[in-house]
């Protein structure tokens, strides 16, 4: 990994999750315990096993650390697959309020990239196994009362202390990092950015073209940037790519409306500041949201009202979420 995602919160959360596991399995908080489950399925609520396993058999790529107690991928599945397994009406109501329009949920994807042609990070429309590309943690496909198609892209963070940074700035293939060091140059000539055509890439990536098409130029797309260097070198890289994925869908005629959201553990404040700073810097701030995970508990309970164990209680206990009564 390009950075250390450990923070006081992440270390504390993992310790508490391990202690909770020791109590549940051995009745002793000091019993020997591991940060890894025996299988990745052990990280899921039982009502989600069958659906999640079918997704993996169908090609869903599992993260390297899906067995870890603090797996964000499994956290995302536990929060959003209930709406695929059960009723999505609670999620539809939740999103309708935030979008300001009545919507229904047409489908939910985990690790969603759409088409490789949108961001052009890969050689073709479908990525090869060895190609790296932007995949949103969750995509919720929507339709409003007029029949217009919408897309909600959701980034899910459990214990991470930040977002994936730019790999191009430190790449050995980047022989000229002038655009990395100068905001003025980066925004005036985004084609100078190494990410636009990394080493061995067969076509230009479309991040900067997407933002320029939407807003005229990069300065108009990001009018409130407070730095003298490229703002996408660190924490803003991952939100930027998901933002471009949303806009790219709209520009390709695949979505008439969209939103981008961060869902995070309520106590994980490490990801809040960079996300809010990114949102405030963009011209699309009204489309960018942030939801503590506990705000989804009621819709999730409504999706699987007869689950065993009760999924709301299970989520609160499993992830140490404090939810106001």
Residue 114 φ/ψ region, left for φ over 0, alpha for ψ in the -120 to 50 degree band, beta for the rest: left
In this model, does residue 323 exceed pLDDT 70? no
How much is the average pLDDT of 230-258? 97
Q: Does residue 3 register a pLDDT over 50?
A: no
pLDDT at 92 over 90: yes
pLDDT tens by residue, 53-83: 999 999 999 999 999 999 999 999 999 999 9
Q: 172-209 burial, b if ≥16 CB within 10 A, otherwise e?
A: eebeebebbebbebbbeebebbbbbebeebeeebbbbb
* pLDDT of res. 316: 96
Angle among Cα 51, 249, 292 to the nearest 5 degrees reads 55
Confidence band of 33 (pLDDT split at 50, 70, 90): confident
Q: Where are the domains of the chain?
A: 70-165+234-305
Model pLDDT, residue 289:
98
pLDDT at 26: 87
Residue 266 has pLDDT above 90, yes or no: yes
Which CATH code for domain 70-165+234-305?
3.40.91
Q: Is 35 exposed, middle or buried (0-12, 13-18, 19+ CB in 10 A)?
A: middle
For residues 317 and 298, give the distance between their C-alpha atoms in angstroms, rounded to a whole number.
Answer: 15
CA distance 298 to 97: 14
For 29-38, 149-158, 238-247, 250-259, which range has the lowest pLDDT when averaged over its residues?
29-38
């Amino acid at each position: 990994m390009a950075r250390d995602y450990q923070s006081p919160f992440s270390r504390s959360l993992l310790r508490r999750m391990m202690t909770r596991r020791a109590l549940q399995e051995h009745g002793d908080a000091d019993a020997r315990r591991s940060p890894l489950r025996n299988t990745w399925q052990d990280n899921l609520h039982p009502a989600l096993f069958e659906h999640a396993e079918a997704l993996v058999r169908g090609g869903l790529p599992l993260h390297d650390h899906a067995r870890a107690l603090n797996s964000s991928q499994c956290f995302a599945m536990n929060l959003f697959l209930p709406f695929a397994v059960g009723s999505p009406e609670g999620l539809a109501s939740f999103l309708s309020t935030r979008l300001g329009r009545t919507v229904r949920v047409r489908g939910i994807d985990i690790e969603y990239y759409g088409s490789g042609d949108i961001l052009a990070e890969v050689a073709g429309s479908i990525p090869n196994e060895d190609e790296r590309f932007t995949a949103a943690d969750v995509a919720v496909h929507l339709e409003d009362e007029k029949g217009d198609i919408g897309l909600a892209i959701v980034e899910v963070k459990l214990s991470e202390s930040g977002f994936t940074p730019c790999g191009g700035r430190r790449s050995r293939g980047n022989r000229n990092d002038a655009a990395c060091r100068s905001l003025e140059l980066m925004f005036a000539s985004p084609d100078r950015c190494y990410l636009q055509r990394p080493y061995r890439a067969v076509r230009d990536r479309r991040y900067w073209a997407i933002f320029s098409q939407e807003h005229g130029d990069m300065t108009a797309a990001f009018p409130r940037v407070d730095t003298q260097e490229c703002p996408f070198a660190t924490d803003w890289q991952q939100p930027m790519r998901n933002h471009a994925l949303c806009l790219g869908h709209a520009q390709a005629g695949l979505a008439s409306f969209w939103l981008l959201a961060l869902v995070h553990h309520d106590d994980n404040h490490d990801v809040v500041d960079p996300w809010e700073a990114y949102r405030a810097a963009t011209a699309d701030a009204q489309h960018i949201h942030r939801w503590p995970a506990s705000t989804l508990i009621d819709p999730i309970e409504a999706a699987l009202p007869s689950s065993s164990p009760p999924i709301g209680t299970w989520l609160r206990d499993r992830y140490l979420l404090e939810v106001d009564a």
